[in-house]
């Protein structure tokens, strides 16, 4: 069976490679010529564990190829996945212009029956909109629209795509359902078949619920700080209740990344457009952004004025095991520190200067965690990279002017840090 994936970013490329691994003949399409030429050389344009090797293996086995032509994509396969970006529009809505461009491109090349799959995260009823658009621009060719949202997590993209918790398929015809069931028969995961709108909504509702869980525990963390409780212990105690679950209850700097922030905003927006004000989601967003301010306020409390202070910042990506800095709390915190007059020395294991254009020439990007702490008044931990846990803290203490650590991800053991002579502050700990 052959497949075409249109859009070769985090979602499209990972989806394409995972289908290739399952034995399908995959063509990945993208209108970014430079990206396609890099991929054709066997290079992944971003960091994701295991992806480089998977690309090289798939190319050697000749089960993946690349193109900039949607026309070629339509010709290649019966199933066409659309995995292009749906960025946040100015008014909080999802910007569907990339999806619409692809739909027009597909429509103009459509001859025989095709299953056109929304893989990108879209607001409910986008499928209807796509159908109207494709009908308008095609010469009456037969097609079905399917919603098949992705749930991959960056940093664990291969595992979460090859072994998903569930596969959601929103369909309008038995024919499309059969095609999709055949396609996913090689994956061991429950398949849930729904109508189109429900599948679309499952994605926005899932991501918003994850964001809600994070904001909830961050709100609880504030009460912990005021009452002398420890949020790590509280989260453990809550999470063992199976109805709640332990995942996504890590208090800290809140959620970032390409998906959660935009999906919460887009879900609130579409809900309000449909006539239902979703204030809960606005509160989730508010709590999330406040966490960053509270973190910087901890530094101010520990150091007094930040103006002229040298601060080490560990982590720039929005979470570990990725070089993705989109909507990263760490980047926002660096910008805030600079605004307050501090000098920032940052270290991240994977983030390159090209990934932080807004901070370029405004911070010193160091090549090791030790270089970053040299002669600093304080160390801020913004991303919980495993390597930070393994650092030699005796050496760190010697390098710093003042031994103060503010751990935005609660990744270090407070007792150990105190025994080493650090003044340690976590999140949600008195
Ligand atoms: C998310 C969804 O998890 C995934 O299903 C969807 O397909 C895309 O969006 P991702 O953006 O890769 O995936 O990141 P995720 O692992 O969900 O983490 C999002 C943010 O929440 C990160 O900044 C992370 O640090 C933060 N987070 C996560 C917490 O602050 N606490 C937690 O307990 C979990």
**Smallest Cα–Cα separation from 218: which of 3, 7, 5, 428?**
428
pLDDT of residue 10: 95
pLDDT for residue 33 is more than 90: yes
pLDDT mean over 277-284: 98
**Closest by Cα among 68, 124, 116, 66 to 94:** 124
What pLDDT does 139 receive?
Answer: 85
Q: Given a cut of 90, is residue 30 above it in pLDDT?
A: yes
Q: What is the mean pLDDT of residues 118-123?
A: 94
Interval 311-334 mean pLDDT = 98
Q: What is the distance between the alpha carbons of residues 131 and 144, in angstroms, rounded to a whole number? A: 8
Average pLDDT over residues 146-150: 97
The catalytic position among 28, 103, 224, 259 is: 259
Within 8 A by CB and 6+ apart from 155, the residues are 48, 49, 319, 320, 321, 322
Classify 227 as helix, strand or coil: helix
Cα separation, 216 vs 281, in Å, equals 11
Residue 7: pLDDT over 90: yes
Whether residue 309 has its Cβ less than 6 Å from ligand 1: no
- Return d(Cα 300, Cα 312) in angstroms, integer: 14
Q: What is the mean pLDDT of residues 279-298?
A: 98
Ligand 1: residue whose CA is nearest its atom 26: 255
Predicted confidence (pLDDT) per residue in 207-259, tens digit: 999 999 999 999 999 999 999 999 999 999 999 999 999 999 999 999 999 99
Ligand 1 touching residue 385 (CB < 6 A): no
Q: Summarize the confidence of residues 60-84 as an average pLDDT.
A: 97
What angle, rounded to 10 degrees, do the helices at 260-273 and 279-303 form?
140
Average pLDDT over residues 372-379: 98
User: What six digits make up the tokens of 184?
Assistant: 């996913």
Q: Do residues 400 and 375 lie in contact, with contact meaning Cβ atoms separated by under 8 Å?
A: yes
Report how far apart the first and last C-alpha atoms of the chain are (Å, whole number): 58
292 touches ligand 1 (CB under 6 Å): no
Percent above pLDDT 70 for the chain: 100
The mean pLDDT of the chain is 97
pLDDT tens digits for 406-429? 999 999 999 999 999 999 999 999
In this prediction, residue 430 carries a pLDDT of 80
Which ligand 1 atom lies nearest to the CA of residue 151? 7
Residues 68-87, mean pLDDT to the nearest whole number: 97
pLDDT higher than 90, residue 345: yes
For residue 368, what pLDDT is reported? Answer: 98
Q: In the chain, pLDDT over 90 holds for what percent of residues? A: 98
| Contact (Cβ atoms closer than 8 angstroms) between residue 42 and residue 63 | no
259: annotated active-site residue:
yes
Question: Which of 260, 288, 329, 351 has most ligand 1 atoms within 8 Å of its beta carbon, as the pocket-test mutant?
Answer: 260
Nearest CA owner, ligand 1 atom 34: 248
pTM, two decimal places: 0.96
């Amino acid at each position: 069976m052959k497949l075409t994936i249109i859009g070769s970013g985090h979602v499209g490329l990972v989806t394409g490679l995972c289908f290739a691994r399952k034995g399908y003949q995959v063509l990945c399409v993208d209108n970014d010529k430079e990206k396609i030429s890099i991929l054709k050389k066997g290079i992944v344009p971003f960091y994701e564990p295991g992806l480089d090797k998977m690309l090289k293996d798939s190319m050697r086995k000749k089960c993946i190829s690349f193109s900039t032509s949607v026309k070629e994509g339509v010709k290649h396969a019966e199933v066409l996945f659309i995995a292009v970006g749906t960025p946040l529009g100015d008014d909080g809505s999802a910007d569907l212009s990339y999806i619409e461009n692809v739909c027009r491109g597909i429509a103009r090349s459509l001859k025989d029956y095709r299953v056109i799959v929304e893989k990108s995260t879209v607001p409910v009823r986008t499928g209807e909109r796509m159908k109207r658009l494709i009908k308008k621009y095609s010469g009456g060719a037969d097609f079905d629209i399917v919603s098949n949202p992705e749930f991959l997590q960056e940093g664990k993209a291969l595992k979460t795509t090859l072994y998903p918790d569930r596969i959601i398929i929103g369909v309008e015809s038995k024919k499309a359902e059969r095609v999709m069931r055949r396609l996913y028969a090689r994956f061991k995961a429950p398949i849930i078949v729904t109508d189109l709108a429900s599948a679309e909504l499952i994605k926005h509702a899932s991501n918003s619920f994850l964001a809600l869980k994070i904001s909830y525990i961050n709100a609880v963390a504030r009460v912990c700080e005021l009452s002398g409780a420890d949020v790590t212990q509280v989260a453990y105690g809550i999470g063992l209740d199976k109805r709640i679950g332990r995942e996504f209850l890590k208090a800290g700097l809140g959620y970032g990344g390409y998906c959660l922030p935009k999906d919460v905003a887009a879900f609130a927006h579409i809900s309000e457009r449909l006539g239902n004000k979703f204030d809960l989601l606005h509160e989730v967003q508010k709590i999330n952004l406040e966490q960053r301010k509270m973190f910087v306020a901890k530094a101010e409390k520990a150091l007094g004025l930040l103006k002229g202070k040298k601060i080490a910042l560990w982590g720039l990506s929005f979470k570990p095991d990725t070089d993705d800095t989109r909507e990263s709390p760490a980047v926002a915190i660096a910008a805030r520190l600079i605004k307050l007059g501090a000098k920032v020395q940052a270290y991240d294991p994977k983030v390159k200067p090209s990934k932080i254009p807004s901070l370029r020439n405004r911070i010193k990007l160091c090549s090791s965690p030790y270089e970053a702490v040299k002669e600093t008044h304080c160390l801020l931990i913004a991303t919980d990279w495993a390597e930070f846990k393994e650092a030699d803290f005796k050496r760190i203490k010697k390098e710093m002017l003042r031994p103060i650590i503010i751990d935005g991800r609660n990744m270090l053991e407070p007792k150990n840090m105190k025994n080493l002579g650090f003044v340690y502050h976590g999140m949600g700990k008195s």
